[in-house]
């Protein structure tokens, strides 16, 4: 499927299948291109966008809950306020993407390229040196995704203390990144 033309009134795709919904649910296996598409508020819940080209697309407030975005090209994408709850972003290219206020609860970010991505930070911590993520939710509050855990700073610190004890290096990293995220929120106003 290839995006042929779009404007404020219509989007025209070149399709080789009968139903866009069929395509997005995975019934049709093809490389999908939404290059520079304006998909503000689009409901792509559960969509199969594996390997899709979404470069420079606007997905502001889009619903991508449970979407398969493995190996998708999301370079320079505006994901402001997007719902990525449970989305699989394994191996996705998110270079220079804006994740401001995106809901990343239960999202799989393993192997995602976040180089230059805005409004998200990644760091390693704990004995296993697992990659952790910090970002701002829609209310400009710092949130953390650490393994299977997702929550605010206070909840993250409590979980870390359960596993590593009080005042661990891991805890200090979360507190440090909490400050970084708060400064990011101030700078964006």
Read off the pLDDT of residues 23-78 as tens digits, 9 standing for 90 and up. Answer: 555 544 557 889 999 999 999 999 999 999 999 999 999 999 999 999 999 999 99
Rg (CA), the chain: 18
Are 87 and 112 a contacting pair, CB within 8 Å?
Answer: no
Mean pLDDT, to the nearest integer, of 138-147? 90
CATH code reported for the domain at 1-118: 2.160.20.80
Mean pLDDT of the chain: 85
Q: What DSSP designation does 187 have? A: H
pTM: 0.76
Q: Kindly report, as residue ranges, where domains of CATH 2.160.20.80 are found in the chain.
A: 1-118
What pLDDT does residue 19 have? 45
Query: Is the pLDDT score of 10 beyond 60?
Result: no
CB proximity list for 127: less than 8 A, separation 6 or greater: 164
pLDDT on residue 20: 52
**Cα–Cα distance measured from residue 161 to residue 172, given in angstroms and rounded to the nearest whole number:** 11
Higher pLDDT, 107 or 9: 107
Sign (positive/negative) of CA torsion 155, 123, 181, 56?
negative
- Give the pLDDT of residue 126: 64
Is the pLDDT at 154 greater than 60? The verdict is yes
Is the pLDDT higher at 1 or at 81? 81
Token pair listed for 87: 């989305």
Mean pLDDT of 109-125: 88
Task: Determine the pLDDT at residue 85.
Answer: 94
- Rounded CA gap, 143 and 136, in Å? 6
pLDDT recorded at residue 1: 47
Does residue 141 contact residue 151 with C-beta atoms inside 8 Å? no
Query: Using one digit for the tens of pLDDT, what is the confidence trace for 119-134?
Result: 998 888 766 667 889 9
> Residue 18 has what pLDDT?
43
């Amino acid at each position: 499927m290839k995006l042929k033309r779009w404007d404020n009134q219509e989007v025209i795709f070149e399709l080789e299948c009968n139903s866009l919904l069929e395509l997005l649910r995975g019934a049709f296996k093809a490389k999908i291109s939404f290059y520079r598409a304006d998909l503000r508020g689009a409901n792509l819940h559960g969509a199969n966008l594996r390997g899709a080209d979404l470069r420079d697309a606007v997905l502001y407030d889009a619903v991508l809950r449970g979407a398969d975005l493995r190996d998708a090209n999301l370079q320079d994408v505006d994901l402001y306020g997007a719902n990525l709850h449970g989305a699989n972003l394994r191996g996705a290219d998110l270079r220079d993407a804006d994740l401001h206020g995106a809901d990343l609860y239960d999202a799989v970010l393993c192997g995602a390229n976040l180089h230059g991505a805005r409004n998200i930070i990644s760091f390693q911590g704990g004995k296993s040196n697992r990659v952790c993520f910090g970002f701002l939710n829609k209310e400009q509050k710092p949130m953390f995704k650490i393994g299977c855990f997702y929550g605010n700073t206070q909840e993250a610190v409590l979980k870390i203390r359960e596993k590593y004890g009080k005042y661990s290096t891991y805890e200090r990293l979360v507190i440090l990144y909490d400050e970084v995220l708060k400064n990011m929120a101030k700078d964006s106003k």
